[in-house]
Amino acid sequence: MEPVNIKIYIQELERFQKKHLKAFKADSLILPESSFSLLSSEERRELSKIYFNLVKSIIENGTTSEEPQALDYLNTSIRLDATCNKGAYAMIAKICAINNDIIGAYANILISVALGETSRDDEFFIQQCKRMLFPTPEVIKKHNQPEDVLHDLLKFKDVVLVLEPGTYNYNHDVDRNGEQKHRYHWNWRGDHKEFWPRCISR
């Protein structure tokens, strides 16, 4: 039996769907991205909050019947209005952990730390780090400029950098005593509607 609060959010979602039948597919509570433009900014924000609160309730209650849809709900919530989703990456990490996706849980909790959503002292963060076969870098930083990324890759020996959605094109050779020792290259183009932030490390 589903907890009452989960039922409440599902009912809210169903009511929203009935008000906007043309936007939704008949057999799904997930709003397709092609229908986003049919909603006003206020409606998108309202729906984003419904999805987010539903996923939060699913995680808190450990409702296995809704877990398969949880990531889709959260993904749609972020795409509708990312400002309504503080703590989203920690939630994604927990969904991954529930599904025994060790790498997904670890990567997303690192992003959450970089965004300031989660502390290094957080029990869940510590648990995910212990599941890895290597130590977690001391430096976990968020970036959106290629030059800053290169600077930190050279500055820190052990670092995880979280790249915000955008375009990154950079080539750089580091010569020591006339010999090429390192070549850094990345070319990643991402739209905030299509990609999560990415982690790179060295």
**Same domain membership, residue 81 and residue 13:** yes
**Same domain membership, residue 9 and residue 81:** yes
Tokens of 16: 């929203």
Of 90, 81, 96, the closest CA to residue 51 belongs to 81
Q: How far apart are CA 44 and CA 51, in angstroms?
A: 11
| Residue with more model confidence, 61 or 199 | 61
pLDDT at 165: 57
Count of CA atoms in the C-beta half-sphere (13 A) of 71: 14
**Same domain membership, residue 79 and residue 8:** yes
Of 168, 108, 112, 116, the closest CA to residue 144 belongs to 168
Tokens of 178: 């006339």
Q: Count structural domains, the chain.
A: 2
Q: Do the domain assignments include residue 124?
A: no
Report pLDDT digits (tens) over 70-105. 888 988 998 898 777 788 888 888 888 888 889 889
CB atoms within 10 A of CB 181: 9
43-59 average pLDDT score: 92
> Is pLDDT at 117 greater than 90 in this prediction?
no
Report pLDDT digits (tens) over 178-202. 554 444 444 444 443 333 444 444 4
Residue 144 contacts residue 163 (beta carbons within 8 Å): yes
pLDDT at 181: 46
Q: Do the domain assignments include residue 103?
A: no
Show which of 51, 85, 119 is a domain's final residue: 85
Residue 198 contacts residue 142 (beta carbons within 8 Å): no
> Is pLDDT at 64 greater than 80 in this prediction?
no
pLDDT at 98: 82
Q: Do the domain assignments include residue 188?
A: yes
**Same domain membership, residue 77 and residue 15:** yes
pLDDT at 188: 41
Report pLDDT digits (tens) over 130-146. 998 888 888 887 766 65
| Residue with more model confidence, 113 or 190 | 113
Q: Do the domain assignments include residue 90?
A: no
Q: Do the domain assignments include residue 197?
A: yes
| Residue with more model confidence, 38 or 159 | 38
Please spell the DSSP secondary structure of 108-174, one letter per residue. HHHHHHHTTSS-TT-HHHHHHHHTSSSPPPSEEEEE--HHHHHHHHHH-SSEEEEEPSSEEEEEEEE
| Residue with more model confidence, 39 or 157 | 39
Q: Do the domain assignments include residue 194?
A: yes
Q: Do the domain assignments include residue 96?
A: no
CB atoms within 10 A of CB 26: 6
pLDDT at 183: 42
Residue 131 contacts residue 109 (beta carbons within 8 Å): no
Query: What pTM did the predictor assign?
Result: 0.67
Q: How far apart are CA 30 and CA 32, in angstroms?
A: 6
| Relative orientation angle of helices 41-61 and 67-80, to the nearest 10 degrees | 150
Predicted confidence band of residue 24 (pLDDT cuts 50, 70, 90): very high
Cβ-based burial of 93 (10 A; exposed 0-12, middle 13-18, buried ≥19): buried
Domain hosting residue 196, numbered range: 139-201
pLDDT at 48: 93
Q: Do the domain assignments include residue 118?
A: no
